[in-house]
Amino acid sequence: MTLIILFVFIVGYVLISTEHWHRIDKMIPAILMMVLSWGLIFAFPNMVVQWLDPSSAELLLSKLGFVPDFVGNTAEKTELINTALQHHLSKTAEIVVFLIGAMTLVELIDHFKGFDAVQVLFKAKKKWNLLVLLCTFAFFLSAVIDNLTATLVMIAIYRKIIDAPEDRLWYAGFIVLAANAGGSWSPIGDVTTTMLWIGHKVSTTPLILSTFIPSLLCIVTPLLIARYLPAFKGNLSRSIYIESKEGRTELLLGLALFLMVPLLKSVFHLPPYMGMLFALCLFALYAEIKTKRNFKMSEVESDLSPQSPTMKSLQKVELPTILFFLGILLTVAALESLGFIFNLGQSVQDAGIPTQLFMGILGVASAVIDNVPLVAGAMGMFSYPMDHETWHLLAYTAGTGGSILIIGSAAGVVAMGLEKISFGWYLKHIAPLAFIGYVIGYIFMLGFM
């Protein structure tokens, strides 16, 4: 059974990784392999050899050191499988709800043109100076609103400043590097760090202290090299700056609410998804009051959603992306329940491969394979306590390693689509810089572990 589901996972992931070639949305294979994996387990419970109860997995593994056999009659096994699926679904739902809240809050900020208000910050005549400004802002912005959204925002900003198509390719490539590096040191900056945070593998302050400097080195190193590249020498061919005060209040309010979420977790132990929903509701309340929606009693039964900024923002949330995460995480959960992921981790340790080296390899692998399943798998392989150095290293490698290839991160795929960046162009011009930055940050982390 394990081999069959592993085959389903591999086929599904080949389809996901080659989305830019066959144009089938990655949500479809992700959901299919989730349904097939759990469907096979439910249909043939007696073919399952080992079973790891998720509610007591860490306790069992620490006592036994191996995954126990799956015993019982068909009815008992089916009940255990159903219980496990419900447990994994509840944990996955925490991440999904968190992402929905975060995406909606970003859309609300954009509704009030909050991101347009920062364009005035990027006044520069020299190409390299503008690159530094854009990457610095992307680095810190992605730590608050996630790297995917930060990439979208930054591309929208520099498009209003830069005309030359070739220049745009270079700036887009570096923004991908900066956004991924910035997202790796914040618990809300990347899906993988959010997974580690919600999964009680890392906490906010230790994560920031351990990964901020390596992440900074990951983008600073390519920036220093870029200073000597022909593409960033000289002045901009055109630069137009529109100073607008509209949206500044909403931008500051939205960023403050984002930053409030880790604070609520630390002070009041409020689950992250609850904190994000609370932040969303506060901003939505502000948005509804500001728009001052008025309607007559005769319009009560009509569709009022187009008048509501909250409803408009909810309609813009990328549901396929949400369903993609759902499919991936529950498929990995199936492999984890079968004991495959833990056994794989044990094989790595038995082979004598240092954990630090293994995490470094995972980071490079995330350039080809999406980092979400890699992190989900690594979380099931090892039973280190919260804030162990391994989890911090994983946050860095998984978050920044995807920058090595244009298809290795959601930010890269978005930039690829918006600026029509070819795989070959990125591989030739940006990938070497990304790899150098990744290695420098990785070595720095190893030096302080």
DSSP characters over 193-259: HHHHHHTTS--HHHHHHHHHHHHHHHHHHHHHHHTTSGGGSSB-S--------TTHHHHHHHHHHHH
Q: What does the pLDDT read at residue 374? A: 76
Q: How far apart are CA 320 and CA 327, in angstroms?
A: 10
H/E stretch holding 305 reads none
> Is residue 241 very low, low, confident or very high in pLDDT (cuts 50, 70, 90)?
low
Eight-class DSSP state of 69? B
* Phi, psi at 317, each rounded to 5°: -60, 135
φ/ψ region of 352 (left if φ > 0, alpha if ψ in -120 to 50, else beta) reads left
Q: What does the pLDDT read at residue 64? A: 64
Q: What does the pLDDT read at residue 298? A: 45
According to DSSP, the residues that pair with 235 across neighbouring strands are 126
Q: What does the pLDDT read at residue 449? A: 64
Which residues fall within 8 angstroms of residue 437, CB to CB, at 6 or more apart? 177, 181, 217, 218, 219, 220, 221, 222, 400, 403
Are 41 and 87 contacting, i.e. CB atoms less than 8 angstroms apart? no
- 65-79, 284-298, 400-414: which has the minimum mean pLDDT? 284-298
Q: What does the pLDDT read at residue 239? A: 53
> Is residue 75 very low, low, confident or very high in pLDDT (cuts 50, 70, 90)?
very high
Q: How far apart are CA 143 and CA 188, in angstroms?
A: 6
**For residues 327-336, average pLDDT:** 85
- 120-124, 243-247, 253-257: which has the minimum mean pLDDT? 243-247
Q: How far apart are CA 14 and CA 2, in angstroms?
A: 18
Express each pLDDT in 101-118 by its tens digit: 888 888 898 888 887 777
Q: What does the pLDDT read at residue 243? A: 61
H/E stretch holding 300 reads none
Eight-class DSSP state of 65? S
Q: What does the pLDDT read at residue 294? A: 53
- 81-95, 254-268, 360-374: which has the minimum mean pLDDT? 360-374
H/E stretch holding 267 reads helix 248-268
Is pLDDT larger for residue 187 or for residue 269? 187
**For residues 238-247, average pLDDT:** 62
Q: How far is CA 435 from CA 34, 150, 403, 405, in A?
A: 32, 21, 8, 9
Is pLDDT larger for residue 302 or for residue 209? 209
Q: Quick one: what percent of the chain has pLDDT higher than 70?
A: 90
**For residues 420-430, average pLDDT:** 85
Of the candidates 427, 395, 441, the residue with the CA atom closest to the CA atom of residue 173: 427
Q: Return the ∠ at Cα 134 (arms to 401 and 236), rounded to 5°.
A: 125
Q: What does the pLDDT read at residue 301? A: 46
Structure tokens at 335: 């492999």
Structure tokens at 277: 């929903």
**For residues 348-353, average pLDDT:** 75
Question: Residue 365 burial (CB < 10 Å; 0-12/13-18/19+)?
Answer: middle
> Is residue 306 very low, low, confident or very high in pLDDT (cuts 50, 70, 90)?
low
What is the Cα gyration radius of the chain? 23
Q: How far apart are CA 207 and CA 221, in angstroms?
A: 21
Q: How far apart are CA 332 and CA 125, in angstroms?
A: 49
- 216-225, 348-357, 410-419: which has the minimum mean pLDDT? 410-419
- 129-143, 279-293, 305-319, 375-389: which has the minimum mean pLDDT? 305-319
> Is residue 226 very low, low, confident or very high in pLDDT (cuts 50, 70, 90)?
very high
Are 401 and 371 contacting, i.e. CB atoms less than 8 angstroms apart? yes
Residue type, 398: A
Q: What does the pLDDT read at residue 290? A: 87
Q: What does the pLDDT read at residue 61? A: 61
Q: What does the pLDDT read at residue 442? A: 95
Q: How far apart are CA 345 and CA 196, in angstroms?
A: 17
* pLDDT reading at 295 higher than 50: no
Are 162 and 168 contacting, i.e. CB atoms less than 8 angstroms apart? yes
Q: What does the pLDDT read at residue 342? A: 75
Q: What does the pLDDT read at residue 380? A: 75
**For residues 364-372, average pLDDT:** 76
Express each pLDDT in 275-289 by its tens digit: 989 999 999 999 988
Q: How far is CA 262 from CA 265, 272, 343, 379, in A?
A: 5, 7, 33, 21
Which residues fall within 8 angstroms of residue 389, CB to CB, at 6 or more apart? 210, 449
Tokens 């390299």 belong to which residue?
128
Are 126 and 236 contacting, i.e. CB atoms less than 8 angstroms apart? yes
Q: Please state, as a whole number, how many other Cβ atoms lie within 10 Å of the Cβ of residue 64.
A: 9
Is pLDDT larger for residue 106 or for residue 303? 106
Sign of torsion, CA 145 312 407 232?
Answer: negative
Structure tokens at 380: 């099931």
Q: How far apart are CA 83 and CA 89, in angstroms?
A: 10
> Is residue 126 very low, low, confident or very high in pLDDT (cuts 50, 70, 90)?
confident
Of the candidates 181, 188, 218, the residue with the CA atom closest to the CA atom of residue 202: 188
Q: What does the pLDDT read at residue 123? A: 75
Q: How far apart are CA 142 and CA 79, in angstroms?
A: 42
Mean pLDDT, the chain, integer: 84
Q: What is the pTM for the complete model shown?
A: 0.76
